[in-house]
């Protein structure tokens, strides 16, 4: 489970997160919504360990481990996955090669047996079928020339292969049409279960019609100002963020 | 041996000895010292031979073996000047400013002959030129008599100004070496349209020292249309400060040998330099564009696009070096050079060079060489256009593409006219 | 698993860290007196029992060398080389001409074993694990000519190849057994007076490989020479000559290592390739000479002249190289495209890390009509490395319809290194088409973070991205080399990020 207490974070000397408290029990899907500039992406980056985000106070523990003290790849091996808002391109690096290398690196770190090329391919094809992805995605360079929708689907495919314990989806729905949105949602839903938690960060409520969260939190000015059940998302949509600004 | 009989570098050095007490500014110690030092540099190296890397493809032997005297002291009679492109124009005959032929009234900034204004020019003259590295700049420093001196104060928009240079044939080989100084104060703007015309066996060796201050913008269009007996060897030194821009567009289509050498340095963040051109040569002609662009500050952008068209027995050269200094992160540099060969006897040599010491940069260059595209030709002919005309259309399209990037209408029209004039002279024949 | 891919694993278990091949072999050596003069040239020729014509050939080269000046135009800086302060002949002491591997000094064999180079054919054919794969497994064995310092110690599979009429042996042996062939081709692609280092090599070369593929024969296995500089204070001057007669095909692999030392050692080799009508020669190099330590001390000076002559119509010569070692690299594998419709290719990855300097590239001379050349060069600079690509594409007046495509890309890691491109394009033919492109890039923080978030360590991420950058070149390498090359890339860039 993920427990964040009093987390304050600065970016280039400017405070962005001003005391975030959040607890996601194992097996639950939580959503974070907030206006632009509220610190949503900052939260996802600081949890995954990107450089340039300075923790000035507070803690974040995942299954008892202090993840803020770990390198990005160590957090990944511990079960953390970030679906990027803007997935980067890796020219010349084959998609299959990349995913197999990542999977095996994590398995090795956990003392598990690595998969050979045949085993990996079998696993990958299974997952891709479930996500309605064609085989040739495997041969292309990672995200090279992918449309926005393809990039997001590639993120979900990686998630399905790496089987994280905690998935952070950073505005996964931005730029997607309804069909792509459904596939992404199905991919996430397929992973739901007792060993899987997710933090869905989104600006719009629409995605949450397909990935129904257990709890919804509103992030404003770097702090969680309100938490509630799934109906909170609908409230937000009806009233807008301004209403919550007053409560902050 | 008399000075007149000596050739090449020795000849020029001898002439310098004879002339130095009579050259403009002979009573100014600072200028005398500068000329003397230049003479020492020139004497040490002489004219560059093909063993010098930067002159590997251009042979200066015809210049080094000839003996050039001075132009006529007074040019009598009416002169045929090219048609005017702008309301203000500065006319130079044989490298000397001619107030009587120029129209400079009402200018909101200082612009005129350098020889009359040496006092004001002192802080700037020689600040950018490198006679120790470029022998032609050393030669120019030794023997320049006059040139255009422009100084725009902060924020002034100078609009359009023309620079016309005419060479008048005195019936024997002659040389002149104008020194042009262009200074733009912060935020100032100016478009300079330069035309070089003339005849005779002449060595025209101009040097430009151009300083563009913060946020200023200098557009420099050059049409080198001297006759095919003339050697035009120009060297431009330009520094561009933060946020400033220098746009140079050169059409070289006329002289027997054209060397268009530009050294530009981007010295402050956000400075930009665009260097473009079209160089054309036909039988017996040689065109050479050699650029050196220094990204010495972060966040600067540069673009270079050069087109070369070669007909008959001719030779074209493009050498373009981009040097990105260690501090110049976030550099955006692009260079493209395209050559079109129209005859079996043409030769193109191209050396686009990158020297990169910073890692967060976007730097690329491309070079293509070839003949007219067979598919395009066929397409035109299949639509009924005769072969000769089809070829002409494609060559024109290739050339005009080069001027597309010029935003100033007057300048673009003038440049297009220059391109077309060359093509017409080829009889529109491939 | 193919022989050379064992190199990394085998040697890693032998040495601690850093340059894995840095060990020295303790073995009895024979040296010529130090220095370079006509007597030394005669000494070398006599030691090898060479015919008079070859001694004359060497002496002419030496005379030419004395009149030449060391070239200084490459963008590499190194302190002056004292040519007299070196041994020009250093050979492992052994009985005259080993008739079989059993007669070769076991210490020598152990060295090659350490390097993972199989010299025991029996082991290979018996399918011993790690010994090279068996035909039964569908993997071809690799014939190896092992050169220890300046002397060829053993060549495997000679018998098998001889059955097809293929000659694969050391040059010394070829001079004894096939003098006419050697005389016909030696120096015809790189003449003695071609350049300073070629002249030096022509005078004092001690050994190298000789290959002759007869008409219509497709060489059934990859041929490989493994060079090892072991003795101190010696220069290595090997000479390789490969001749592919009409309609033949051969793929040749060159691998090299050297122990770690404080002083620099000179490697000035000459490689000549000749391809007749419809013949193909594929020459691959994975060069991992000692690059010098992290402060730039020691390391090999790699000054090599490699040239291929596509003499026949429709002939093809491909150069593929991965250069990760040597303190200073100065080499321009070239193709002379004489035969009509002949093809020249150059695929290269060059890495400079720490204080390495490389000035490398290729020269393609288009002489015949419809000749084609492709150049793909990937330069990676890290640390304080300086990497220069220098290429020449010259299209002659008669090369109608010739085509060249050049792509040179530079990857910079960190802000203390440099990447430079100096292409010369000279075109005298209107119907030829030349296209040249160069780009510069770096490994972005975002790309590194993306990989790390997926569980890859920073070093693995760099390795993955660099391999992606070099993919077009790496896929040209024969399988045997491809895996080793990828690992080599990773090792060479250790410590370059962060």
pLDDT digits (tens, 9 = 90+) for C23-45: 555 556 667 777 788 888 998 89
Alpha-carbon distance C382 to nearest alpha carbon in chain B (angstroms) = 10
Q: How confident is the model at residue C246 (pLDDT cuts 50, 70, 90)?
A: very high
Query: For residue B333, which of C447, C410, C73, C427 has the smallest C-alpha distance?
Result: C410
Q: What is the pLDDT of residue C129?
A: 34
Query: For residue C124, which of C112, C139, C109 has the smallest C-alpha distance?
Result: C139
Helix H, strand E, coil C: the string for B248-282 is: EEEEECCCCEEEEEEEEEECCCCCEEEEEEEEEEC
For residue B14, the 8-state DSSP code is: H
Query: For residue C456, which of A43, A93, A86, B37 has the smallest C-alpha distance?
Result: A93
Question: What does each of the 430 residues of chain B score in pLDDT, given as a tens digit?
Answer: 454 568 889 999 999 999 989 999 999 999 999 999 999 999 999 999 998 999 999 999 999 998 898 888 777 777 888 888 889 999 999 999 999 999 998 898 999 999 999 999 999 999 999 999 999 999 999 999 999 999 999 999 999 999 999 999 988 999 999 999 999 999 999 999 999 999 999 999 999 999 999 999 999 999 999 999 999 999 999 999 999 999 999 999 989 999 999 999 999 999 999 999 999 999 999 999 999 999 999 999 999 999 999 999 999 999 999 999 999 999 999 999 999 999 989 999 999 999 999 988 988 898 988 888 877 777 777 777 777 777 887 888 888 888 888 888 999 999 988 888 888 888 764 4
Q: What is the pLDDT of residue B240?
A: 98
Tabulate helix, strand, coil % of chain B (nearest 5): 25, 40, 40
For residue A245, the 8-state DSSP code is: H
Query: For residue C485, which of C458, C467, C461 has the smallest C-alpha distance?
Result: C467
Give the residue from C393, C413, C440, C445 with the most B CB atoms within 10 Å of its CB, the best one to mutate: C440
Sheet of strand A2-11: strand arrangement: A14-24, A2-11, A54-62, A65-66
Q: CA A200, CA A210: separation in Å to the nearest integer?
A: 12
Q: Any bridge partners for residue C307, and if so which?
A: C272, C334
Q: Which residues of A119-137 are buried (b: 16+ CB within 10 A; e: fewer)?
A: ebeebbeebbeebebeeeb
Q: CA C390, CA C71: separation in Å to the nearest integer?
A: 15
Helix (H) or strand (E) holding C162: helix C158-162
Alpha-carbon distance A168 to nearest alpha carbon in chain C (angstroms) = 11
How do beta strands C151-155 and C209-213 pair?
A: unpaired
Structure tokens at B421: 């004039």
How do beta strands C209-213 and C239-244 pair?
A: parallel
Q: What is the pLDDT of residue C25?
A: 59
Q: What is the pLDDT of residue C395?
A: 95
Sequence-distant (≥ 6) Cβ neighbours of residue C496 within 8 angstroms:
C353, C382, C383, C413, C414, C462
Does residue C236 surpass a pLDDT of 60? yes
Q: Any bridge partners for residue C256, and if so which?
A: C227, C287
CB pairs under 8 A between A and C: 83
Least confident piece of the model among A239-248, C98-107, C198-207, C381-390? C98-107
Please answer whether residues C275 and C310 qualify as being in contact, where contact means their C-beta atoms are separated by less than 8 angstroms.
Answer: yes
Please answer whether residues B352 and C423 qualify as being in contact, where contact means their C-beta atoms are separated by less than 8 angstroms.
Answer: yes
**B366 contacts C425? CB cut-off 8 A:** no
Q: CA B350, CA B372: separation in Å to the nearest integer?
A: 18
**A93 contacts C465? CB cut-off 8 A:** yes
Query: For residue C329, which of C104, C78, C63 has the smallest C-alpha distance?
Result: C78
By Cβ distance, the residue of C455, C460, C468 closest to A90 is C468
**C437 contacts B326? CB cut-off 8 A:** no
Q: Is B351 at the interface with chain C, CB within 8 A?
A: yes
Q: What is the pLDDT of residue A8?
A: 95
Q: CA C55, CA C42: separation in Å to the nearest integer?
A: 7
**C442 contacts B361? CB cut-off 8 A:** yes
Phi then psi for residue C265, to 5 deg, are -125, 150
Query: For residue B303, which of B347, B246, B359 has the smallest C-alpha distance?
Result: B246
Give the model confidence (pLDDT) of A186-242 as tens digits.
888 889 999 999 999 987 788 888 889 999 999 998 999 999 998 988 888 888 888
Q: What is the pLDDT of residue C3?
A: 34
By Cβ distance, the residue of C415, C427, C439 closest to B364 is C439
Alpha-carbon distance C352 to nearest alpha carbon in chain A (angstroms) = 21
Does residue C167 surpass a pLDDT of 70? yes
Does residue C203 surpass a pLDDT of 60? yes
Q: Which residues of B23-55 are buried (b: 16+ CB within 10 A; e: fewer)?
A: bbbeeeeebeebbebbbebbbebbbbeeeeeeb
Please answer whether residues C153 and C110 qualify as being in contact, where contact means their C-beta atoms are separated by less than 8 angstroms.
Answer: no
CB pairs under 8 A between B and C: 111
Structure tokens at C216: 């219509």
Q: What is the pLDDT of residue C227?
A: 62
Structure tokens at C321: 């190289």
Alpha-carbon distance C450 to nearest alpha carbon in chain A (angstroms) = 7
Structure tokens at C29: 């050596």
| Sign of the Cα pseudo-torsion (C197, C200, C203, C205, in order) | negative
Query: For residue B156, which of B213, B205, B96 has the smallest C-alpha distance?
Result: B213
Please answer whether residues A174 and A203 qualify as being in contact, where contact means their C-beta atoms are separated by less than 8 angstroms.
Answer: yes
Which position has the token pair 């890397």? B53
Q: CA C290, CA C19: separation in Å to the nearest integer?
A: 7
Q: How confident is the model at residue C96 (pLDDT cuts 50, 70, 90)?
A: very low
Does residue C361 surpass a pLDDT of 80? yes
Q: Is B332 at the interface with chain C, CB within 8 A?
A: no
**B364 contacts C424? CB cut-off 8 A:** no
Three-state secondary structure call for residue B38: helix
Q: CA C12, CA B222: separation in Å to the nearest integer?
A: 64
| Sign of the Cα pseudo-torsion (A70, A71, A72, A77, in order) | negative
Q: What is the pLDDT of residue C462?
A: 87
Query: For residue B244, which of B273, B208, B209, B276 has the smallest C-alpha distance?
Result: B273
Which position has the token pair 């402060």? C295
Helix H, strand E, coil C: the string for A47-108 is: HHCCCCCEEEEEEEEECCEEHHHCCHHHHHHCCEEEECCCCCCEEEEEHHHHHHHHHHHHHH
**Which chains sit next to A, with 3 or more Cβ pairs under 8 A?**
C
Q: What is the pLDDT of residue B235?
A: 98
Q: What is the pLDDT of residue C139?
A: 45
First to last CA, chain C: 34
Structure tokens at B348: 């193109």
Q: Which stretches within C310-457 are classed as H helix?
A: 445-453
Three-state secondary structure call for residue B333: strand
Q: CA A198, CA A2: separation in Å to the nearest integer?
A: 10
Q: What is the pLDDT of residue B288?
A: 97
Phi then psi for residue C177, to 5 deg, are -95, -25
Give the residue from C376, C378, C440, C453 with the most A CB atoms within 10 Å of its CB, the best one to mutate: C453
Average pLDDT over residues A33-42: 87
Please answer whether residues C250 and C213 qualify as being in contact, where contact means their C-beta atoms are separated by less than 8 angstroms.
Answer: yes
Structure tokens at C281: 């020669």
Contacts 24+ apart (CB under 8 A), C231-234: C231/C29, C231/C31, C231/C87, C231/C90, C231/C149, C232/C261, C232/C263, C233/C34, C233/C85, C233/C86, C233/C87, C233/C263, C233/C265, C234/C31, C234/C86, C234/C87, C234/C88, C234/C90, C234/C149, C234/C150, C234/C265
Does residue C89 surpass a pLDDT of 80? no
Q: CA C38, CA C51: separation in Å to the nearest integer?
A: 17
Q: What is the pLDDT of residue C297?
A: 63
Helix (H) or strand (E) holding C265: strand C264-267
Least confident piece of the model among B249-253, B289-293, C99-103, C204-208? C99-103
Q: What is the pLDDT of residue C126?
A: 35
**A77 contacts C454? CB cut-off 8 A:** no
Please answer whether residues B292 and B263 qualify as being in contact, where contact means their C-beta atoms are separated by less than 8 angstroms.
Answer: yes
- Mean residue pLDDT of chain A comes to 88
């Amino acid at each position: 489970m993920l427990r964040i207490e009093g987390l304050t974070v600065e970016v280039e000397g400017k405070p962005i997160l001003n005391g975030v408290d959040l607890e996601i029990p194992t097996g639950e899907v939580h959503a974070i919504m907030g206006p632009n500039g509220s610190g949503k992406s900052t939260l996802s980056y600081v949890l995954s360990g990107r450089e340039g985000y300075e923790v000035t106070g507070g803690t974040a523990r995942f299954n008892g481990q202090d993840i803020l003290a770990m390198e990005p790849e160590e957090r990944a091996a511990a079960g953390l996955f970030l679906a990027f808002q803007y997935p980067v391109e890796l020219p010349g690096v084959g998609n299959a090669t990349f995913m197999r290398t990542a999977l095996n690196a994590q398995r090795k770190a956990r003392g598990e047996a690595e998969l050979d090329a045949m085993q990996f391919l079998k696993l990958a094809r299974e997952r891709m079928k479930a996500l309605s992805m064609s085989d040739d995605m495997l041969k292309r360079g990672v995200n090279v020339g992918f449309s926005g929708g393809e990039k997001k689907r590639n993120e979900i495919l990686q998630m399905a292969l790496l089987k994280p314990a905690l998935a952070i989806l950073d505005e996964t729905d931005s730029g997607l049409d309804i069909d792509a949105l459904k596939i992404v949602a199905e991919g996430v839903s397929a992973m739901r279960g007792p060993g899987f938690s997710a933090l869905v960060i989104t600006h719009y409520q629409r995605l949450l019609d397909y990935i129904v969260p257990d709890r919804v939190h509103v992030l404003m000015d770097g702090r969680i100002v309100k938490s509630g059940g799934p109906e909170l998302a609908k409230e937000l949509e009806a009233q807008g963020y301004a209403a919550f600004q007053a409560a902050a | 041996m008399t000075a007149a009989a000596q050739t090449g570098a020795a000849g020029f050095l001898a002439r310098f000895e004879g002339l130095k007490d009579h050259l403009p500014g002979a009573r100014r110690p600072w200028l005398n010292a500068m000329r003397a030092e230049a003479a020492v540099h020139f004497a040490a190296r002489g004219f560059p031979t093909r063993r010098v890397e930067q002159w590997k493809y251009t042979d200066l032997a015809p210049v080094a073996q000839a003996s050039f005297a001075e132009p006529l002291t007074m040019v009598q009679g009416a002169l045929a000047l090219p048609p005017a492109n702008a309301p203000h124009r500065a006319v130079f005959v044989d490298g000397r400013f001619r107030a009587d032929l120029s129209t400079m009234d009402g200018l909101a900034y200082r612009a005129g002959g350098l020889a009359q204004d040496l006092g004001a020019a002192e802080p700037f003259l020689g600040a950018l030129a490198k006679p120790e590295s470029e022998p032609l700049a050393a030669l120019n420093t030794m023997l320049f008599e006059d040139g255009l001196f422009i100084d725009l104060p902060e924020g002034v928009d100078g609009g359009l100004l023309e620079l016309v240079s005419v060479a008048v044939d005195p019936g024997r080989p002659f040389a002149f070496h104008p020194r042009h100084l262009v200074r733009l104060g912060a935020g100032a703007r100016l478009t300079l349209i330069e035309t070089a015309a003339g005849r005779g066996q002449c060595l025209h060796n101009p040097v430009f020292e151009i300083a563009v201050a913060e946020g200023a913008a200098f557009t420099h269009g050059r049409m080198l249309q001297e006759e095919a007996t003339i050697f035009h060897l120009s060297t431009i030194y330009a520094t561009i400060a933060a946020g400033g821009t220098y746009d140079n567009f050169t059409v070289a289509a006329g002289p027997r040998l054209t060397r268009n050498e530009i050294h530009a340095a981007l010295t402050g963040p956000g400075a930009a330099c665009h260097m473009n051109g079209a160089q054309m040569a036909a039988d017996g002609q040689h065109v050479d564009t050699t650029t050196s662009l220094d990204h010495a500050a972060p966040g600067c952008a540069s673009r270079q696009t050069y087109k070369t068209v070669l007909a008959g027995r001719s030779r074209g050269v493009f050498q373009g070096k981009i040097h990105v200094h260690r501090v110049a992160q976030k550099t955006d540099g692009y260079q493209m050079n395209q050559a079109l060969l129209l005859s079996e006897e043409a030769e193109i040599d191209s050396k686009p060079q990158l020297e990169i010491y910073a890692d967060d940069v976007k730097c690329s260059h491309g070079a293509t060489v070839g003949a007219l595209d067979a598919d395009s030709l066929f397409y035109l002919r299949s639509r009924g256009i005769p072969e000769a005309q089809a070829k002409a259309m494609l060559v024109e399209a290739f050339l005009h593409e080069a001027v597309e990037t010029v935003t100033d209408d007057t300048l673009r029209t003038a440049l297009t006219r220059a391109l077309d004039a060359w093509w017409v002279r080829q009889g529109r024949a491939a | 698993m193919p022989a050379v891919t064992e190199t990394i694993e085998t040697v890693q278990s032998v040495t601690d860290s850093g340059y894995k091949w840095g060990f020295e072999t303790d073995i009895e050596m024979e040296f010529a007196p130090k220095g370079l003069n006509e007597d030394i040239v005669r000494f070398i020729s006599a030691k090898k029992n060479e015919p008079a014509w070859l001694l004359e050939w060497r002496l002419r080269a030496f005379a030419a060398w004395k009149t030449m000046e060391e070239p200084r135009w490459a963008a590499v800086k190194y302190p002056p080389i004292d040519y007299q302060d070196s041994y020009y002949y250093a050979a492992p002491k052994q009985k005259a001409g080993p008739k079989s591997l059993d007669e070769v000094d076991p210490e020598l064999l152990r060295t090659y074993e350490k390097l993972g180079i199989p010299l025991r054919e029996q082991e290979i054919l018996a399918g011993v694990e790690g010994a090279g794969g068996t035909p039964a497994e569908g993997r071809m064995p690799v014939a190896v000519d092992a050169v220890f310092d300046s002397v060829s110690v053993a060549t495997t599979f000679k018998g098998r190849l001889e059955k097809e009429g293929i000659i694969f042996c050391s040059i010394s042996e070829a001079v004894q057994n096939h003098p006419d062939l050697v005389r016909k081709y030696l120096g015809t692609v790189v003449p003695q007076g071609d350049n300073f280092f070629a002249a030096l090599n022509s005078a004092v070369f001690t050994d190298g490989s000789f290959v002759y593929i007869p008409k219509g024969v497709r060489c059934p296995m990859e041929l490989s020479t493994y060079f090892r500089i072991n003795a101190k204070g010696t220069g290595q001057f090997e000479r390789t000559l490969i001749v592919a007669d009409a309609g033949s095909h051969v793929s040749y692999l060159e691998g090299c290592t050297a122990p770690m030392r404080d002083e620099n050692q000179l490697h000035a080799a000459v490689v000549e390739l000749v391809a007749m009508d419809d013949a193909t020669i594929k020459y691959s190099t994975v060069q991992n000479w000692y690059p010098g330590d992290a402060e730039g001390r020691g390391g090999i000076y790699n000054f090599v002249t490699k040239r291929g002559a596509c003499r026949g119509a429709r002939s093809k010569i491909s150069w593929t190289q991965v250069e990760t070692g040597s303190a200073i690299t100065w080499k321009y594998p070239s193709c002379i495209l004489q035969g009509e419709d002949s093809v020249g290719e150059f695929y290269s990855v060059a890495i400079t890390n720490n204080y390495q300097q490389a000035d490398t590239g290729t020269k393609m001379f288009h002489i015949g009509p419809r000749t084609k050349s492709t150049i793909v060069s990937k330069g990676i600079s890290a640390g304080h490395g300086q990497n220069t690509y220098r290429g020449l594409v010259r299209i002659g007046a008669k090369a109608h319809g010739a085509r060249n495509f050049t792509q040179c890309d530079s990857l910079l890691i960190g802000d203390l290194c440099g990447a430079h491109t100096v292409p010369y394009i000279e075109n005298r033919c209107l119907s030829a088409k030349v296209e040249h492109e160069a780009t510069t890039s770096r490994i972005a923080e975002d790309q590194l973070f993306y990989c790390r978030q997926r569980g890859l360590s920073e070093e693995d991420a760099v390795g993955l991205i660099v391999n992606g950058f070099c993919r077009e070149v790496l896929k040209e390498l024969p399988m045997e080399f491809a895996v080793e090359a990828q690992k080599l890339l990773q090792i060479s860039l250790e410590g370059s990020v962060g």
